[in-house]
Amino acid sequence: MAYKGPLDYIDVATRIVEFRTQYPDGRLRQKDVQFVDFAGKSWVVYTAEAWRSQDDPAPAHGTAWEPVPGPTQFTRDSELQNAETAAWGRAMVAALAVDTRKGIASSEEVRNRQAPSASYEPSRDHVAAARASGSPDDVMAIWQAARGEGAPAEYLDRIAAIGRELKAVS
């Protein structure tokens, strides 16, 4: 699902589908991960590579960083995963040479910077549970439970994005 804002951001799951369609033998790999202190904050810095083929002579790179701890309920305790997903999205933008007028930032990056709803207190961390589940069907059940609690749309979107990513890589 693309974030609908001033620019139509593309989610990473959609970028993965585009990447796999254009490069069926392509691979997404971790190049580097570091934990650094910068400007008085701690950060996780993740660099990903998008290999268009097994022997790609010049894989595309993407780097993203996230503050630790994450500033919102959506990013806290998911900093590494968020940086990884964002770095994959950026590497695929470079590999696909897509039109960046739609934005280099993925919809996940935009969503992670949005302020959470102050009135919603989840009974558990549904996002972490979805990441740990490994199954799109389990993620759907987690999404339904969060929805039943009255979770705001941005929280439900985070869970749904995890389900889409699982479907895209399976």
Question: What is the token pair recorded at 29?
Answer: 């790999």
Q: What is the pLDDT of residue 7?
A: 42
Q: What is the pLDDT of residue 101?
A: 44
pTM for the model: 0.55
Q: What is the pLDDT of residue 93?
A: 81
Q: What is the pLDDT of residue 126?
A: 87
User: Which CATH code of 1.10.3470, 2.60.40, 3.30.160, 3.40.30 fits the domain covering 1-115?
Assistant: 3.30.160
d(CA 44, CA 36): 6
Q: What is the pLDDT of residue 1?
A: 40
d(CA 78, CA 129): 11
Parts of the chain with a pLDDT under 50? 1-7, 99-104, 107
Q: Which of 3, 8, 11, 10 shows the shortest CA–CA distance to 163?
A: 11
φ and ψ of 28, to 5 deg? -110, 125
Question: What is the token pair recorded at 143?
Answer: 């999404």
C-alpha torsion sign, points 94, 98, 100, 106: negative
What's the chain's Rg over C-alpha atoms?
A: 16
Q: What is the pLDDT of residue 109?
A: 53
All CATH 3.30.160 domain ranges in the chain, comma separated? 1-115
Q: Which of 160, 92, 151, 153 shows the shortest CA–CA distance to 131?
A: 160
